[in-house]
């Protein structure tokens, strides 16, 4: 949430939420502010990066069949997500 604070000047309500430890209710209240700030990439973008990391790691496997299977498995985790 610190990055969100730097990305855009928060309103008083968000400043209060970010200025103290927060439990689940506070996190849920802050979530829309943080998402709208542009400070954090969308979750789908993060998932795509993880899939690319997994595919890159699979390239190091000596068995081509296993590497191809793991790469396909990683990519299939994104099926059904928005493009």
- Mind listing the pLDDT tens digit for each residue in 13-70? 767 776 777 777 777 777 776 666 666 678 888 899 999 999 999 999 999 999 999 9
On whether the CB atoms of residues 36 and 6 are closer than 8 A, the answer is no
Whole-number Å distance between alpha carbons of 73 and 14: 39
Q: Which of 32, 45, 24 has the alpha carbon at shortest distance from 4?
A: 32
Whole-number Å distance between alpha carbons of 48 and 52: 6
pTM summary value: 0.54
Tokens linked to 14: 């968000």
Residue 1: predicted pLDDT: 46
Angle at 15 between CA 31 and CA 24, to 5 degrees: 40
Residue 49: predicted pLDDT: 93
On whether the CB atoms of residues 20 and 5 are closer than 8 A, the answer is no
Residue 20: predicted pLDDT: 73
Residue numbers of the domain that contains 9: 2-37
- Do 8 and 30 sit in the same domain of this protein? yes
Residue 65 lies in a domain: yes
- Do 32 and 49 sit in the same domain of this protein? no
């Amino acid at each position: 949430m610190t990055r969100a604070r730097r990305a855009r000047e928060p309103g008083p309500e968000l400043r209060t939420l970010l200025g103290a430890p927060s439990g689940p209710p506070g996190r849920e209240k802050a979530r829309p502010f943080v998402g709208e700030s542009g400070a954090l990439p969308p979750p789908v973008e993060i998932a795509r990066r993880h899939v690319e990391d997994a595919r890159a790691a699979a390239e190091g496997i000596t068995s081509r069949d296993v590497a191809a299977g793991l790469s396909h498995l990683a990519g299939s985790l994104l099926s059904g997500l928005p493009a």
